[in-house]
Structure 1
Amino acid sequence: MKKNWLALSLTGTLALVLSSTMPIVQAEESLAGNSAAGKEKAGSCAGCHGEDGNSMMPTFPKLAQQHSSYLVRQLQAFKEGSRNDATMAPMTLALSDADMADLAAYFSSQAITANPEPSLPPSEDSDEPVDENKAKETMKGLLASGSNLYRNGNLTSQVSACIACHGPSGEGNKPAAFPALRSQHPDYLIKALTDFKSGARNKKPDNMMNMIAKKMSDEEIKAVGYYISTMK
């Protein structure tokens, strides 16, 4: 019962977030994107995110199969300056609402690719060769911890369960513009959570993800990032 308390406690918060995002969602619905037009406009996105939204670079997010409502919201945030990113801010300045809707329609229609089994990067503090068996055991432990945190949260530190907003399979919540996380690059997920924790991601200290990430340890961030990357 206690394990599920954090997930259940988000019900009220979720209702508030839903109400606060409705104007954005309604605006997107009133301006339906054109996937074919979005494909034509996506050339400048391909260098970092891949032609079909499946980025080959682990620190750049996959956009494929992401909810169009979330993609539009993020493009708006980059353009308005409420989300910090030195690369994306200038890329969005010339985008119209129609451009954003078209790009979102295109990338959301593409299938996301599954990730290979995650592995630990080489240690920067040691020149010793990697002990493969030890590395596998460490990763096994991280995945187990990540699964527990994703589904149950951490009652002691009041870290909410990810499942409440992002779904049992990491599918997200389109009406609320909560992103799909499944099969995302682990490096990007870890970076995103780290940026939420430090405040580097946006200028809103009361943002729900900022508040959650600040309560997470670096080890928890790694664990849940690796675990989410395995979800399909």
Structure 2
Amino acid sequence: MKRIATKLAILALVSCVARPLLASETIPLKNCTWCHGPSVQGYSNAPRLAGQQELYLEAQLTNFRTHLRDNPYSRDFMWSAVAHLDEDMVRAFASYFASLPPEAADDGNRNLIATGRNIFEFGIPEANVAACIVCHGPNGEGVRTIPRVGGLSYFYLKRRLDEWVAGYSSAAVPMPQVARSLSGQDIEALASYLSFVGYSAGQ
């Protein structure tokens, strides 16, 4: 009886561990991991997808397909990468990536954490910049089509904010207007702070 119970416990454990792997076998995951990393935790130039909001991921994959997201990295890499995805595959990718546990990049400037946190939680009233926490949540986790920003790489966050300042992806209301109201130092601080969210330094 004890031997049977042990076997059942092992089978249950294997089943739990294997479930996310089996889910990933239904989509061409390797095509994504070349740039986004083996556990899709991203690199400096490619964002972290693990734990991102599912509806946001769906929307962005669609924006790549329709060329609405028009910044240089999107044009050079993502437009062709998603060109042949159908709606079912878009939903499958979004669902799988959203189900993975996120990890913070932890790559910003620690000296700017306090300044960045202040912008995130209280905004910049004199520049008419609303607090980021209002839309993105207390830990930058996002909701529905509003993305998780907490824990994303400093380099990715800074680049996206700079791209909005430059006029790319102008349909992504209200972020272009928000970004243009931030100084270069504000962007540095905000991107730095958010990269640590999920670690004790950012909490």
Instruction: Specify if TM > 0.5.
Output: yes
Structure 1 residue aligned with 2:47, among 61, 72, 84?
Answer: 61
Map 1:21-170 onto structure 2 (within 5 A): 36=23, 40-55=27-42, 57-84=43-70, 85-86=74-75, 87-116=77-106, 118-119=108-109, 139-140=110-111, 142-170=112-140
SS in 2 for 1:40: coil
CA deviation map 1:48-86 (0-9, x unaligned)? 11232111x212100000011000000000100110112
CA deviation map 1:84-103 (0-9, x unaligned)? 11210111110000010000
Identity of aligned residues (%): 29
Distance, in Å, in 1 between the alignment partners of 2:26 and 2:113 is 36
- What TM-score, normalized by structure 1, do the two folds share? 0.70
Per the TM alignment, residue 153 of structure 1 is displaced from its structure 2 partner at its CA by 0.5
What stretches of structure 2 of length at least 5 have no aligned partner?
A: 1-21, 199-203
- Aligned residue identity for 1:103: F
1:217 maps to which residue?
A: 183
More helix by share: 2
Per the TM alignment, residue 39 of structure 1 is displaced from its structure 2 partner at its CA by 5.5
Counting matched residue pairs gives 173
With over 3 angstroms needed to count, the CA separation of the structure-2 counterparts of 1:43 and 1:146, relative to structure 1, is: same
CA contact (8 A) 1:72 1:101 kept: yes
CA contact (8 A) 1:186 1:225 kept: yes
SS in 2 for 1:169: coil
1:228 maps to which residue?
A: 194
SS in 1 for 2:90: helix
What stretches of structure 1 of length at least 5 have no aligned partner?
A: 1-34, 120-138
Per the TM alignment, residue 203 of structure 1 is displaced from its structure 2 partner at its CA by 4.2
CA contact (8 A) 2:106 2:153 kept: no
- What TM-score, normalized by structure 2, do the two folds share? 0.80
Distance, in Å, in 1 between the alignment partners of 2:52 and 2:165 is 23
Distance, in Å, in 2 between the alignment partners of 1:39 and 1:166 is 31
Distance, in Å, in 2 between the alignment partners of 1:156 and 1:80 is 37
CA deviation map 1:197-221 (0-9, x unaligned)? 1112x143x7210111011101100
Per the TM alignment, residue 183 of structure 1 is displaced from its structure 2 partner at its CA by 1.1
- Aligned residue identity for 2:95: A
Distance, in Å, in 1 between the alignment partners of 2:123 and 2:170 is 25
- Aligned residue identity for 1:156: E
SS in 2 for 1:41: coil
Query: Is 1:196 matched with 2:134?
Result: no
Distance, in Å, in 2 between the alignment partners of 1:38 and 1:181 is 27
2:141 maps to which residue?
A: 171
- Aligned residue identity for 1:169: N
Per the TM alignment, residue 40 of structure 1 is displaced from its structure 2 partner at its CA by 3.1
